[in-house]
Amino acid sequence: MSTLNLENSPRTVRTELDIPYRHVDTHFIGGQWVQAHASERADVVDPATGQVWGSVPRGNDDDLNAAVAAAKDAFDAGAWSGLEAAERAQYLNRIADEIEARADILSWTNSLENGSPVAETAGAAANAAGIFRYFATLAHVIDEEDVRPAPRGGFSSTVKRDPVGVCALIAPWNFPINLVVIKLAPALLAGCTVVIKPASPTPVSIRIVMDAIAAAGVPAGMVNMVTGSGQMGDKLVRHPDVAKVAFTGSTPVGRKIAAACGELLRPVTLELGGKSSAVILPDVDVEVLRANLVRSCLRNTGQTCYISTRLIVPTSRYEEIVQLVAEEISGAAQGDPLAEATVFGPCATESQYNTVLEYIDSAKAEGARCVTGGEPADLAGELGQGFFVKPTVFADVTPDMRIAREEIFGPVISMIKYDDSSGVEEAIAIANNTEFGLGGIVFTADEEAGRAVAEKIDSGSVGVNFFASNHAAPFGGRHDSGMGVEYGPEGLHAYLSYKSIHHR
């Protein structure tokens, strides 16, 4: 494994950068940074070094109520929802520009918060801007007059698309910018106002997005953000003035939120965990597999919801592919997330680090064969205190093992064998033998055969020979991976409330 020479590392340079929010005592409420009521604070830790580099307020009831009140007042005043969607779309485009103008600081702050390599976070601003610009193109979905004659005659109905109201946006730590923006852009286009709760490990990069929104001239109160615990998140979900909840995070928390929203009859979108599979057909082009492996199967050090961490490999090519995967994974640089060459960073938090090591132990105890990795990474200097686990490949994994069934959310690949003498059916059955249904890939030299297998995978998105998300196509999970979708016009509909006005 190649590790980085710290003397050549840009860490020193970049951590001295003027990150605008290191130790802060404010929330973003009513268009400005407002002093927190709470005196309690939460540390922000650099997972690459284990060092605390910032702190934010742990919001209390007063902070939360102030944020929801600002969002409700702004919604009720109607200045935002009263605009044509096409006018709101212009603000979305301005927000995109302001986010792009902050690309470097967003990237470095995100990398310092959660250890995502800069090679990953360098694209975060462009991606976020792309989401705002995409939703700006959907203004017509809201603005176009939609008059529908009743099929039995006699009258017509004008279908209006109203904003649902104040939306609670709750995000996880793995992509702290994207997973807010994917909710925020359609919510704003729809005419909603929002309260954002970022995940506790990643409360800083989102502040820079708030600055971009303010700089874009978005009227005060449309977008509010409070930092605080999961308990505060629960209060936000249940707040009487919240009309809709959009959540990305773990399945257990998603169930609690769904239960609360069920009781309250409150619409909710849930993007939850996954355990997706790469089905490898016997004719796989190994160079295509090699080129797509890290991004499709271990993106962001294995901390991506849709990645295919289970490789389902034909017996006829099993050892060859195990060797290729091990070679590719062990050859990718692990080290300082702030260095441009880094492919694998640390786990985002100490607790995630411990969870990953526990899964590795369980795999060994259950008899899986560790081909590479399988232990903490031994890095030098200050990185030696970071939460690094070596990228790990287990072969001879059987579908009943814990690492084959449960979401690990770390750099661990499980390679499962299928008997290809009678076709691909067994591989599809293994891929579908999961409670989740989020992503998936098929690797094959025969594009048509790949599409046919993709059709049989019981999941919200499947790629043929690669995986990507498309802002224009719905993204969401089936089964324990969630309810509802984000992206595309379908993702916009979640923020709209329909009204039919009947007339003759």
Nearer to ligand NAP, 98 or 271 (CB): 271
Nearer to ligand NAP, 122 or 199 (CB): 199
Ramachandran sector of residue 360 (left: φ over 0; alpha: ψ -120 to 50; beta: rest): alpha
Q: Which two tokens stand for residue 441?
A: 């890939």
Catalytic residue among 305, 328, 347, 382: 305
Q: At what angle do helices 425-432 and 447-456 cross, to 10 degrees?
A: 40
CB of 271 to ligand NAP, least distance (A): 3
Give the helix/strand (H/E) hosting 395.
strand 392-397
CB of 90 to ligand NAP, least distance (A): 28
SS3 state of residue 385? helix
Q: Please state, in angstroms and rounded to a whole number, the distance separating the CA atoms of residues 355 and 340.
A: 27
Q: At what angle do helices 103-114 and 85-100 cross, to 10 degrees?
A: 70
Nearer to ligand NAP, 63 or 98 (CB): 63
Nearer to ligand NAP, 81 or 355 (CB): 355
CB of 166 to ligand NAP, least distance (A): 16
Nearer to ligand NAP, 85 or 408 (CB): 408
- Write down the residue that tokens 């020193």 correspond to: 12
CB of 224 to ligand NAP, least distance (A): 15
Nearer to ligand NAP, 88 or 275 (CB): 275
Q: How far is CA 121 from the centre of its chain?
A: 13
CB of 195 to ligand NAP, least distance (A): 12
Contact 175, 300 (CB under 8 A): yes
In sequence order, the β-bridge partners of residue 159 are 500
SS3 state of residue 443? strand
Q: Please state, in angstroms and rounded to a whole number, the distance separating the CA atoms of residues 431 and 396.
A: 16
Catalytic residue among 271, 328, 382, 407: 271
CB of 252 to ligand NAP, least distance (A): 7
Q: Please state, in angstroms and rounded to a whole number, the distance separating the CA atoms of residues 163 and 71.
A: 13
Task: Compute and round to an integer the Cα radius of gyration of the chain.
Answer: 23
In sequence order, the β-bridge partners of residue 168 are 195, 245
Query: Phi then psi for 343, rounded to 5 degrees?
Result: -100, -45
Nearer to ligand NAP, 225 or 377 (CB): 225
Quote the Cα angle for 11-14-15, to 5°.
80
- Classify residue 219 by its DSSP letter: P
CB of 349 to ligand NAP, least distance (A): 8
Per residue in 70-92, is it b (16+ CB within 10 Å) or e — as a string? Answer: bbbebbeeeebbeeebeebbebb
C-alpha dihedral over 486, 489, 494, 496, to 10 degrees?
A: 150
CB of 232 to ligand NAP, least distance (A): 7
Q: Please state, in angstroms and rounded to a whole number, the distance separating the CA atoms of residues 276 and 496.
A: 31
CB of 327 to ligand NAP, least distance (A): 28
Per residue in 112-141, is it b (16+ CB within 10 Å) or e — as a string? Answer: bbbbbbbbbbbebbebbbbbbbbbbebbeb
**Which residues are at the interface with ligand NAP (CB under 6 A)?**
170-174, 179, 197, 199-200, 229-230, 233-234, 237, 248-250, 253, 256-257, 271-274, 305, 407, 409, 438, 477, 482
Nearer to ligand NAP, 88 or 239 (CB): 239
Quote the Cα angle for 340-341-344, to 5°.
105
Q: Please state, in angstroms and rounded to a whole number, the distance separating the CA atoms of residues 318 and 155.
A: 65
CB of 3 to ligand NAP, least distance (A): 27
- According to DSSP, the β-strands at 412-418 and 392-397 are parallel
Nearer to ligand NAP, 450 or 482 (CB): 482
- 271 included as an active-site residue: yes
Nearer to ligand NAP, 253 or 383 (CB): 253
Q: Please state, in angstroms and rounded to a whole number, the distance separating the CA atoms of residues 14 and 11.
A: 5
Residues annotated as part of the active site: 271, 305
